[in-house]
Chain A
Amino acid sequence: EVQLVQSGAEVKKPGESLRISCKGSGYSFTSYWISWVRQMPGKGLEWMGRIDPSDSYTNYSPSFQGHVTISADKSISTAYLQWSSLKASDTAMYYCARQGGEKGFDPWGQGTLVTVSS
């Protein structure tokens, strides 16, 4: 079974750093892109960016470029989303999703809830 399993919920203070993870299984991790998607409380989906785990090539949405970093470690089939300095406005559910070429996002991870509060 193809699965993406994300790391658990996080509670952080403004200014702190954070890295969340997304581990793929049941398929060749380097054969598919991994995208990250944000969903703020009660709001819609926003595409943040993606990574090709085979060579770590990334491209970002202009809205998120410079605010987050996407990386991957193909040796352990895991992709990451990280922040160097969190803000309260980063409070959201974050999903990773597999992509085959330009086709749809499938499957999705279960989501990681990030709460940033002083």
Chain B
Amino acid sequence: QSALTQPASVSGSPGQSITISCTGTSSDVGGYNYVSWYQQHPGKAPKLMIYDVSNRPSGVSNRFSGSKSGNTASLTISGLQAEDEADYYCSSYTSSSSYVFGTGTKVTVL
């Protein structure tokens, strides 16, 4: 199972919006609405930000939103803040009853 493809890095200025893409296949992202997104600060455990493509867990800022079109899912961070600087990973359920993570994206706040 190959990792989902994400851009290596995305940057933006405070207050701007950025979007991170996550491209898979019809056997994972395109086949199920079980895409989730995780934020990981250096030296910390990942934190769930979005599940089931577009749902936010309780306590996660509404500046984070998710969507999907075909085999590509996206995470949008609006009103970018310094604390959003971190690595972000997508994940999808697969047709093999397993899970696959994305390659990861480093978000830099300029």
Contacts and interface: CB of A to CB of B under 8 A. Distances in A.
Interface residues of A, number: 25
A107 B97 CA distance: 21
B96 A106 contact: no
Q: Per DSSP, are chain A's interface residues mostly helix, strand or loop, or mixed?
A: strand
Interface string A39-77: 000001111011000000001111100000000000000
B34 A61 contact: no
Contact of A102 (B40, B47, B93, B102): B93
A47 B36 contact: no
A61 B46 CA distance: 20
Interface in A80-116: 95, 97, 102-111
Contacts of A49: 98
Contacts of A21: none
Which of A60, A62, A108, A109 gathers the greatest number of chain B CB atoms within 10 Å? A108
Interface residues of B, number: 27
A35 B97 CA distance: 13
A46 B99 CA distance: 9
Contact of B38 (A45, A61, A103): A45
Given A44-B89, A45-B38, A103-B51, A108 B45 contact: yes
Interface of A: 35, 37, 44-47, 49-50, 59-63, 95, 97, 102-111
